[in-house]
Amino acid sequence: MLRIDRYILREMVPPFLAGTLVFAAVILANTIIQSSEEIFQLHTPPGAVFAWLWHRVPFILVFALPVGAMLSANLTVIRLGRDNELVPLRLGGMSVRRLFRPFFWAGLAGSLLSLAVSEFIVPQSLARANEVLAKVILQSPDQVVKANKTFRTGGEAFCHVQRVDMRAAQMDFVLIYRYTSGVPREALLAARARRVGQRWQLESGQHSWFDDRGRLERTEPFATYPVEFADNLVSLWDEDKSPEQLTVRQARARLALMRAAGESRAAVELRYFLHAKLALPLTCLIFTMLAAPLSMRFARPQTSPMMGVLLTIIVVFFANGTINWAKVLALAGSNAWLSPEAGAWLHVVVFGALAAGLIARAEG
């Protein structure tokens, strides 16, 4: 790597960090506003709110990294132009394509970082955020009644609840199955479950046991039976893991099961989110390679650095519009104009082609 490459990359780091943090703060503030009804009306303690927001930061960073990457490229090129550093490089025989090489590596690094965060950090962090929210919900006297909830209770145990009333701290018609290697070994069926202190207690039910083949061996009635529902009672708040909480491997496995049962709307949405999970990180590279030739057109000694900020805002505005409209057109059901895959990758194709065209014109 030449000295000029290292020099440009060092120049890109401060605006990249600043742009990413500022845009992440904007998304975080918007998250607070959108979730105010769910969070603050539950009388959530400040510590729980902070923990919930903190665990959502990795998910927010996936959206903030492309903006930081584009802002860093815009401001770096404009700064080089203002200080007349581009002219000697061009006069020394450096081609535009060679000049853009460090921007390419910076954008690629941003894309790889975004993909790593999305794949390895976001699923666990969103699960922890939902656990924080679940604990608040279970302690809130204002939570509404929810019906027909099925969730995992830990290990190979599943629970179905016909009705949940968190005001009364009560669940009606509770069925819990415990499995071993996919075979049911134990079942608890109760008319209701009540919250007693920090635990739940089944009432008026029966306890059944099964043999190694899943055949019923014996059943015993009970008046009360203490039970642990584990931390992921968050499913009483959210039906299942959202696509954002899935890794690519998990999303593909879920999609295969959905397709085996038929191409439902949920399967179409999962196809979109699976490809969007891969397309969004690539936006870092696309934005960087778009920003470099675009900002070079304005890189003059009299150009204000605010031009770099303005260019970033304009491109992000149109890119966000493209992403949202493509999503609507891809998930419109029978009226869909785009396939889920095309909808997820459309902004990459459009802005990637625009970047390639600008680079080709700058080279010419």
272-304: burial string, b at 16+ Cβ within 10 Å, e else = bbbbbbebbbbbbbbbbbbbbbbbbebbeeebe
The reply to whether 328 and 288 lie within a common domain is yes
Which among 214, 229, 244 is the end of a domain? 229
The whole-angstrom separation of Cα 263 and Cα 246 is 19
Cross-strand bridge partners of residue 192: 172, 203
Q: Are residues 262 and 288 in the same domain?
A: yes
Statement to judge: residues 216 and 352 lie in one domain: no
With a cut of 90, say whether residue 14 has pLDDT above it: yes
Tens digits of per-residue pLDDT, 134-165? 666 555 544 444 555 666 565 567 777 777 77
Looking at the structure, tell me whether residues 99 and 42 fall in a common domain.
yes
Average pLDDT, rounded, for the chain: 83
Last residue of a domain, one of 229, 263, 287: 229
pLDDT band at 25 (very low <50, low <70, confident <90, very high): very high
Give the DSSP H/E element, type plus range, for residue 293.
helix 265-296
Cβ neighbors of 314 (< 8 A, separation 6 or more) are: none
pLDDT score recorded for residue 181: 74
Domain assignment of residue 144, yes or no:
no
Q: Does 237 fall in a domain?
A: no
Which percentage of the chain shows pLDDT scores above 70?
Answer: 83
Q: Is residue 240 part of a domain?
A: no
Q: Is the domain of 195 the same as that of 311?
A: no
State pLDDT tens for residues 245-271: 788 888 887 787 667 656 667 788 889
322 closest CA partner among 293, 362, 271, 286: 286
- Number of structural domains (the chain) is 2
Q: What pLDDT is stored for residue 45 in this prediction? A: 78
Please report whether residue 299 resides in a domain: yes
Question: Does pLDDT of 37 surpass 70?
Answer: no
Instruction: For residues 262 and 327, state if they share a domain.
Output: yes
Assigned domain for 247 exists: no
Same domain for 182 and 216?
yes
266 lies in the same domain as 132: yes
Whether residue 8 is found in the same domain as residue 103: yes
Instruction: Examine the domain organization and report whether 164 and 65 are in the same domain.
Output: no
pTM here is: 0.72
Query: Which residue range forms the structural domain that includes residue 199?
Result: 154-229
